[in-house]
Amino acid sequence: MKRISVDMDGVIANVYSQFLKLYTAETGKIITLEDAVGKFEHEVFENAYQYVTSPGFFRHAPVMEGSQQVLEKLNDQYKVFIVSAAMEFPTSFGEKRDWLNEHFPFIGWQQMVFCGSKEIIKADIMIDDHFKNLNYFTGETILFTQPHNQLADEGVHKRVDNWQQIEQLLLP
């Protein structure tokens, strides 16, 4: 059975929605996703680090549309692992685990991988929104479109804009 590594933030958890909500609450200003195109979160939101280290940021992130249904189908046909480079934000472990348990109850604790660098991950397919993870991966790579990667075209990764496209790619 083939193994799929699925990133959490920006792929199944809509963290951009969290950034937008917190920024608006803090400043009263409205930023759109279009304003963030081609920029990393810390370039758009000056308090990005404060946001991601605040209690509840990861726990209350909205679920990416379509991810639950498609991941459940994938989980029946592949060995699915949710892989998050959570060492950067160590306080996020519990929140991410609880979030996965609530929104993806079919993903067992054995399928949750919290690490530092994803260079160590061995699977057949990796779905991620960051080139820094995909570029070191030796299997098939799928780039999930997010504002920070929208303008980049490295051409070596299959690009998808949503979970319906993932379903079309990976499920017969």
**Measured torsion, CA atoms of residues 39, 43, 49, 54, in degrees rounded to the nearest 10:** -70
- In angstroms, the CA 120 to CA 130 distance is 15
7, 35, 153, 161: the catalytic one is 7
7 is catalytic: yes
Alpha-helix runs per DSSP H in the chain: 15-27, 41-44, 48-52, 67-77, 92-103, 131-134, 163-170
* Triad 67, 73, 78: Cα angle to 5°: 105
Out of 9, 35, 128, 129, the active site residue is 9
CA 103 to chain centre: 14
CA 12 to chain centre: 5
Q: Looking at the annotation, which residues are catalytic? A: 7, 9
